[in-house]
Structure 1
Amino acid sequence: MHHSTIPFVDLTAQHQPIQAKLEQAVQDVIRQGDYVLGQALSEFETAFALACGATYGVGVASGTDAIALGLQACGIGEGDEVILPANTFVATLIGVLRSGATPVFVDCDPKTALIDLMAAEKAITTRTRAIIPVHLYGQMVSPRRLLDLASTYDLLIFEDAAQAHLAEREGYRAGSIGIAAAFSFYPSKNLGGFGDGGMLVTREEIIAQTMRSLRNYGATRKYFHTDFGTNSRLDTLQAAVLKTKFPFLYDWNCDRNRIARQYDALLKPLAEYGIVPIENHCDAGHVYHLYVIRVTEASPIERTTLQTALAEMGIQTGIHYPIPCHLQPAFHCLGYRAGEVLIGLIELGQKFWQKCLT
């Protein structure tokens, strides 16, 4: 029996209705010729930051750079410990390491896949400076619990909101909880460009100013370099594409949430067979970058068997993430082992990180 393929990612349906608008936006940049730090970028930075509940937005070349440079702009560096979940894309870890800080992994709540804040509290030491709540799959970590934790232990909250554009929980939007937040505009994100891109949003003017310098060779003005920066600017062409798509994002997110609720209802009978969706604790504020199910130990079907059966029906699936950060070959130098309780202190500073690279 022939089945039509349901791809894991297909942006055609999203782009077709606004194709003319997208083409016009690109043509406008070509006519203006302001390809780097141009008008479309500044307009998009302002609009996106305000929508997130922040004041300033600084576009950079990728979500990874938004984390790495963002932590640096917030004063995070060598000697500081940063708590983050092991179940995240490796960019979160790389961002911490590039800042010079020490990553301290903690486990996640299996019901939500979000960082376990009780485990995070146990991991806090006198050197802990910040926590990175990863708003995974489009669902936010509890803002109230984060703010309570940060207040109790004097921690900075730096949000990884790469998968949570306009997500909401407890009256907060992703990007409005902590000192700053990093977003990714990779093409498959809820708001994606036609290539790589990212942004840091913040309410702190000094952090925004430092970030603008760091993304532009450390220059506060042309040929005057006050910071050890790099070349990481969100291209004007990409910004124009994102600015054009941005007004549609809220409705697209609502569609994702509505469809996810239908999936929840249809999959509910499978719970007794050990196949359960990740729980939604954000209600309508969950923007479902991904719809994720768990194949638990109670299931009589193995995960790979289920994937194969779905593939035979033309339904593509993915695993996010098959190997957690602490077990990736590149980061064995961090000292973690499979099955270890992820609340231990790892003595990793900048010198040890350099040793890992050699």
Structure 2
Amino acid sequence: MSEERPGILDGAVHPAEQTKLFGHGAAEDFLARSYRSGKGHHAILIEGPEGIGKATLAFRFANHVLHHPEPAEAPGTIADPSPASPITRQLASGASHSLLHLTRPFDEKTGKAKSAITVDEVRKAGKFLSQTSGTGNWRIVIIDPADDLNRNAANAILKILEEPPKRSLFLVLTHAPGKLLPTIRSRCLPLPLSPLSETDLAAALESLGAAPSGARAGEVLSAARGSVSEALKLVNYGGFDIVEAFRAIVSGPAEPPRRDVHKLADVLSARDSDTVFSFFCQHAGDFMTDAARAAALAGDIARADRLAHLSFQLGERIAIAQGYNLDRKQTIISVLDDIRATL
């Protein structure tokens, strides 16, 4: 079904269609118990790295609430969604009148997702929440992720969170909670999720029919850092080749061949290369973070500070390049040059 869902990786399924959850049983049980008590928070901030199952957990909990609209009558655990259930089918198809999945809108002109969740999208949430359900059911909004809200959209969401309608539930996903408005964080109950263990990651990939095999199976599980999406990028998108080329350039000779730099930049800036570009940006950021941590542990605080500062600068530069649609190839070359110079 991924072909019908823009932005879904090859080998993955949309979280609304996923019937299994791996590695987050404790968080799921907490949500079930909290809801059953009737004292659950109206806004849950589900925190954790990208690709570890935050959206899957959100949709499973939404499915649970909609199947059991009266908290006192709800079971104390969350069952796997039944594909035969009308509610499950509606959620999976995006046709539910009780749930709004607020994410970056799809731009039909470019064929890609827009760079941010705008205030116009948040207005849709306001209208959705203002509608009276004929069954008195819940209204659930999944913000996926809140990191993509631009400032105006974030302020608009804040106003809704400050005065939530009755029987409304907000499931706010974030890869980087520290970047959210403190006022948004303060109005949500934080629910941090950890990266998947290698055992849980292997099981998740197996359920998708994407379990790595051969000599690199262990390497995939290790390099993915507990993220299903990172594992799929390594297996299905040439992630290992990108990592090897990146390491050779930034850790190799003082003056690596410019053809190697341009070859990598060409791959990452080619048409329809959003997935590999995103993978490169994530890997480069992780690489710098690891380098800064290693320097700090070695007692070289000045070097650690330089590396951490550069990591922050690179993240901002990439965000600006994406937001303003700047030349991607030049951005990549600049990023590589700066990392090499600092290292």
Q: Same fold (TM over 0.5)?
A: no
Q: Which has the higher contact order (CA 8 A, sep 6+)?
A: 1
More strand by share: 1
More helix by share: 2
